[in-house]
């Protein structure tokens, strides 16, 4: 199993979710986050006063995925989340050692 952590634009979260659902990816955790990568924010001017928008709002989607569909899921996230502009986000893949269902106490197959 892998933990796939995708940082995407807020307006792309529905498309990414839909793309993952077509792969029968069951659960996901969605978190509002702020940060920056190469897209270092910008300076906005309101009424002649500048203010920095250095930490940009993004959405973090966490999904735990079986090894055999990880590659498909990554590609699905990239396709759905891409606009081609700087600031489209990142996908990280981390190994998951074990996974349990709290209600039943059962361990998921790795």
* Shortest distance, position 34 Cβ to another protein, whole Å: 6
Complex with another protein: residue 2 or 12, whichever CB lies closer: 12
- Give the full edge-to-edge strand order of the sheet including 29-35: 29-35, 56-65, 2-8, 89-95
Least Å from the CB of residue 77 to another protein:
17
User: What are the residues whose beta carbons fall under 8 Å from the beta carbon of 31, sequence distance 6 or more?
Assistant: 59, 60, 62
Residues at the site binding another protein, with contacts judged by CB under 8 A: 9-12, 14, 32-34, 44-49, 53, 57, 83, 85, 87
Cβ nearer to another protein, comparing 8 with 65:
8
């Amino acid at each position: 199993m892998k933990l796939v952590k995708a940082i995407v634009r807020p307006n792309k979260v529905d498309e990414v979710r839909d793309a993952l659902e077509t792969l029968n990816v069951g659960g996901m955790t969605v978190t509002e986050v702020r940060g920056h990568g190469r897209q270092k924010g910008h300076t906005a001017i309101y009424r002649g006063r500048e203010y920095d928008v250095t930490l940009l709002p993004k959405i973090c989607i966490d999904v735990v995925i079986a090894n055999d569909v990880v590659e498909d899921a990554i590609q699905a996230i990239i396709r759905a989340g891409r606009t081609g502009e700087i600031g489209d986000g990142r996908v990280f893949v981390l190994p998951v050692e074990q996974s349990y269902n709290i209600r039943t106490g059962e361990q998921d197959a790795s």
